[in-house]
Each structure stands twice: as structure tokens, then as C-alpha cells.
Chains A and B, each alone.
Chain A
Amino acid sequence: MTNAAISLKDVSKFYKYYEKEIDRIKEILTGNPRYQQIHALKPVSFEVAKGEVLGVIGQNGAGKSTLLKVLAKTIIPSTGEIQINGRIAALLELGASFHPDMTGAENVYLSCAIQGLSKKEIAVIYDEIVAFAEIGDFIERPVKTYSSGMFVRLAFSIATHIDPEILIIDEALSVGDGAFSRKSFDRIMDFKDAGKTILFCSHSMYQVEALCDRVIWLEKGQIRKVGSPVDVITQYSELVRMASPKEESLDKTSNEEKEKFQQEVESTNVKSIPSIVDVLVRVGDKVGNVHKVISGESDLEISVVFDPGEGVPLASVAIAFSGGDGRILSSTGSVHDGVVLSLNEKGQGVAKVVFPQLALLRGNYYLDIALLCEKGIHLYETIRRAAEIHVEQKGLERGFVVLPHRWENTND
């Protein structure tokens, strides 16, 4: 196929295990294999078309990272052929090749040169890289003096300015803190809109479903299923739930992003980004964080007031009901419902949603509130367990929720 950006044929990776380290050198010297194979990736074959956004999902140890690293050419596959048409930018381990004693400027040249750019090509994009990274005069100082935020900003800027045709993203759709987080997200979305090929590996099924055209599900180093996001994710989520019911939560991605890049919030030089100001939960005349509710009778009213930030489109709001074990039972979002939020007289964003005659059944529930970008993908802020709802009921129904239903008269 000529229009494939990436084509893999029987690509596998096994790590070699040697009982004694000395066996390794014996093998190199004599050429006789002396290892046991440990498969990280069994032979897989697939193609990614130009402009396609491919999601890669799977549990830890399924071979996702190995696959991405093989494609990023940081590990050599044990068997098979890989064809890649176009330059790759891998947002895998940002800034890994930075030299702490060299200045930011020198590291820009070093990183780009490793990616195969000539000095002339680097000189052309140099100014853009520095401007995007927003590190000002620090560019002439050694990288070891950078804060972790500056470090990651520069690395991200370099990775995305080498004009890649293919982007490999592991987990995080944005990097850095505050305003830069949004800016980096926009930059990745620009790549998508420009029709670049993207490989996106994530644990956030929500983001995978929102972005990808097709999804590959890896399990134990093999492709378990390939198909449309809806099909694959539905099956995958079912399996994950059976295995460990507590895995899912609204802000999972954001936690992982934070661990990954060890962000520090820098108060300086950060433009105001959207943030939640207040959450009001009202049942009847009572406002508070803990409510007693009668199933099928009480109306639950939730108002979220947020600071809309500067220079970004008006944010959206999502609300989720979860049980004590953290599993989301139901959720709703303003983007999905096609609602455009508005500003109040103080210039604050307001989202108000009413759940009439709350259909939850007896039990304790928690409300999670999320503030997202206008597309409902990039997460600004979440409040977990913003309110607690104790539902009581009069009847003897079992379960979590009463579904809309009607009994029909069969005698007609």
C-alpha cells in the first residue's frame, strides 16, 4: 500500500534472558545463541494509513510501550519489517537526551541533530522552538538550572517543531502546567486537524474514543482486537471492570500525566486558565455537600461556577455519579448534550443542570465535577467527591438506578 504511513509486518520483540551475564559476551563472540526468550511483543502486523489516528490500548504489560518504542526506533525489533514513511516525533520520554551542562540553545541543536536535522534546517525552526517554549533568557543558560516545567516545555517544543508527519503519544495529550498544558494540547490537536498520522496510547478510554479513528487492543503482546473505537473499547472496558472494578475514574489521565512529568505549578508567567470557583448542590431548599434524597421524588440541582480563564474558548463541564468503589455509574457533559454555557454578570462561567426525580436507588453516591476544554477532551480541573448523596427509597427495588420503563397491558 502506498498511502500507509506505517506498516508493520510480523514485528516482534523478545528480550533475551541469560542465566549468566557472561553468556551474553560468549554469544556475541561466537554467534551461537545462548538465551531464553522473553516475549514483550509477539509478531504483529498492521498498517496505519496517512492521516489516521490510531489508538493503542491494553493493560500494563500488554506490550504497548514496546510497540511505541519499536516504532520510535529506540529499540530494535527482534523480527519483522517496519516501514515508516515520514519523520516521526515521539513524545515518549521528553528531554531524555538533554545534556545538563549545555545551554538550552545548544540542547535544541543537539536534540534536533539526533533527529537527523542539519544545522541549516535547525536554524530555520530555532526561533519558533524558543518562542513556543516560553523560556525567555533561560535559553542561554545550562539546562540544569531549569525548573522541571521549563525543561518539559522546551523538550515538547523541540519534539513538535521538527515538522513530523507521524506523532507518537504515550498517555499524555498535554504536558507542562497551567497555560502551557492547554497550549500543548492545542498543538497536538493542530497536528490532528492538519491530517498528520497519530499513534495514541492511553489508559483513558474516554480520550481514546474521543480522538481515534481506529483502536488496537493489545493483550499479552498480541493483538486481541482491532476495530472502531466503540467496539473495541466496549469490550475492553468490560474486561477491565471484571478484573478490577476500581480502575475507572474521571481524572485518571490527569493523575498519570502528573506522575509522568512531575509537574510543578509555577505561579509566575502563567496566564489565567479556567478553574472551578464554586459547586452548589441543592435539594429542595437545602444547599450543601451532603444530601438525603428520596429516590424518584427529589430534584437534584447542581450549579458549577468557574473562572473562564483568558484567551481560551469557554470551557465545558461534566458531572459523574460514582459509587463507593469509585466506579462511574452515570455521567453527563455539556459538550455531549450540545449545551453552550454562558457567563453571569461577574464574568464567571455558569453551568447548571437539574436531575428531576433522581432515579438512583438506595445507596451512597458521590458527585465528581470536571472542567474541560470546549471540545470536552482536555481536562482543566476535577473535583472528586464534590458532594455526597444518600439515597433512600420507599419501594423494594434492587440495583443502582431505575431505568425509564412502562408496563404494557397484555390483555389488549
Chain B
Amino acid sequence: MNLIRAYFRNVTDGLLTPFRSVYENRSLYSILVKRDMVNRTSGTVLGKLWPLVQPTLQVLGYWFLFDIVFAMRANRGPDYLEYLLSGMVPWLCIAEILTRSTMMFREFSPLYRRNPFPLEILPLLIMTIPCLVFGAVYFILNLLLAGPEKAMFSLLVMPMLMLWLLPLCFLLPVLGLFIKDFTQAIPFLLMITMFLTPILYFPTMLPEGFRQFIWLNPFSDLMAVIHGLVQGSEYSWLNLGRPFLIWFLLLGPSWLVFRRSIPHIREVLS
């Protein structure tokens, strides 16, 4: 009984502490978000346009390869470009956040090493700029290709991702800091995950026997929900329930790990 209560406390703490801390340190947070933007754009010619141009180019690249070169047009379902776009932009956002999260403690060490610093704002901080940037690209592209109504729905996607990725943003920084091999492996893991997730292809294009296994990958469920929200394709309660269950089971332990590792972080880096 106590164990269950302790578990729930960890879940609520893990969910609330980062948001509370961001609120309490809001001026610090807003300055750091700005600093993050400076980091991305300083020294470039296009400057402030780059964050918008880069994801757009990435999407266009994939579209060119799969739609034009491979001529992978779907016989059923919605238009391929629209489909590719609605899955690819959120995925690029996820990939960027997860890659960065493994380096999070190293990246911000100049800030907290010699200062009292609220480390628990970092997970939300590293998600903010990617979500804002990809969110903007996502909205604009949807507005152009699918109209204002679907574009409005697309605005829901980034906040949802931010919330769902929170446990991973507790866990991956700790793993990335203490096990350096992990940082090396993450690009490979992300690539495999992308291929196992229906982003470049429709789930219906998979062989019959294989199709049931893609739901072992929570990102498949996530994509089904996103496609449903933005494109109006069908999705079931299972697609919502499975990621939620994983999220719920992961949040408590990952927050515990994050909290326990805080006293170690400065020692490892100094």
C-alpha cells in the first residue's frame, strides 16, 4: 500500500516539479530560451530564419526521395505528401529532443557547475525551442496543404509530445551522462525506431504477419494518434491507451532516477 502511495507521489512529483520550477524561475527560463535561440542562429547569414528553413528542407528532402524518386504513391488513404508531412515533422522534433537530451547535462554544465541552478527546469527547457520551431513549421505547412481547420488541430501535437516525452527527458540525460556509449548509440537507435514506425510508409503497406508487431513500438501508436488528429484517419482507444500506460509507468521511476542523480552530476563533470 505504501509502495503504491510512494509510486503515485513520484508520478505527481515528476509531472508537477518541472512545471512548478519553470514557473518559479520564469525569468531565468525565458532568458535561457532566448539564449537557446541565439545558440542556433548566431554566426549564420540567414540568422533567425534557419530554425524554420532547416526542418522544411528536411521534409522536402524526404518527400523528394520517396514520392518522386521511389514513386511510392499510395493507392489507398490520403495523399502521400500530406501523410509524410504530418508524421515526419513531429518525428524530427522527437528525434532532436531525444538526441539533445542525452547531452543535456554536458551542454548546460557551465551554467550549473558554479552556480546554484534549478536543474529540474532543464528537461522542459530543451524541449521548448524544438517544439516552438517545429510547431511553427508544422502549423504553416498544414495551413498551406490542408487548410486552416486541420492546421488548428496540428497545434495540439507539440504540447502533447512535450508531455509524453517528459519521462524520457528525465531518463536519457542521466544515461547519457553516466554511460557515454549511450550517446554514441542514440543516432542508430533513432534511425531504427523511425524505420519501425509508420512515418515514411502507411501501416497498411506492411506485410500482414508483420503488421501486428508494430504496436509494440509506442511511437507507432503516437503516430496513429497524430495522423488521426491532423488528417482525420481512424485511430482507436488502444492507440491512446498504450502510450499513456507506458508514460504512466515510466514517469515515476524516471523522475526518481533524475532526482537521485542530481548530487552526482556535478561530481562526474568536474
Contacts and interface: CB of A to CB of B under 8 A. Distances in A.
B262 to A, nearest CB: 8
A348 B153 CA distance: 80
Interface in A178-214: none
B116 A74 contact: yes
Contacts of B262: 76
Contacts of A96: 110, 113-115
A53 B30 CA distance: 37
Contact of A110 (B35, B178, B268): B35
Interface string B223-239: 00000000000000000
A22 interface: yes
Contacts of B263: 76
Contacts of B117: 114
A24 B264 contact: yes
B267 A28 contact: no
A29 interface: yes
A102 interface: yes
B114 A92 contact: yes
Interface string A86-99: 00000011001101
B266 interface: yes
A307 B117 CA distance: 46
A110 B260 CA distance: 27
B165 to A, nearest CB: 20
A57 interface: no
Interface in A1-44: 15-16, 21-22, 24-25, 28-29, 31
B48 interface: no
Contacts of A99: 35, 38, 110
A164 B97 CA distance: 38
Contact of B115 (A74, A106, A142): A74
B204 interface: no
Given A31-B260, A96-B114, A15 B27 contact: no
Contact of A118 (B27, B175, B267): B27
A24 B115 contact: no
Nearest to A96: B114
B212 interface: no
Interface string B247-270: 000000000010011111011100
A304 to B, nearest CB: 41
A33 to B, nearest CB: 11
A116 B21 CA distance: 12
B174 interface: yes
Given A93-B114, A102-B35, A106-B34, A113 B178 contact: no
Contacts of B43: 101
A93 B42 CA distance: 26
Contacts of B110: 96-97, 99
Contacts of A116: 25, 28
A122 B148 CA distance: 41
A75 B28 CA distance: 20
A175 interface: no
Interface size class of B (residues with CB under 8 A): 20 to 34
Given A97-B110, A113-B25, A117-B27, A24 B35 contact: no
Contact of A114 (B34, B115, B175, B179): B115
A106 B267 CA distance: 29
Contacts of B69: none
A16 B264 contact: yes
Interface string A362-373: 000000000000
A114 B28 contact: yes
A111 to B, nearest CB: 8
B31 A15 contact: no
B32 interface: yes
B39 interface: yes
B25 A28 contact: no
A72 B114 CA distance: 9
Given A106-B34, A110-B28, A113-B28, 18 more contacts: A15-B267, A24-B264, A25-B175, A28-B174, A28-B178, A31-B260, A93-B114, A96-B115, A97-B110, A99-B38, A101-B38, A101-B42, A101-B43, A102-B35, A109-B31, A110-B32, A115-B115, A122-B27
19 contacts: A15-B267, A25-B174, A25-B178, A25-B179, A29-B257, A74-B114, A76-B262, A93-B114, A99-B35, A101-B38, A101-B39, A101-B42, A101-B43, A102-B35, A102-B38, A106-B31, A113-B27, A116-B28, A119-B30
Interface of B: 25, 27-28, 30-32, 34-35, 38-39, 42-43, 110-111, 113-117, 174-175, 178-179, 257, 260-264, 266-268
Q: Which 4 residue pairs of A and B lie closest in terms of their CB atoms, listed nearest first?
A: A73-B116, A113-B28, A96-B114, A25-B178
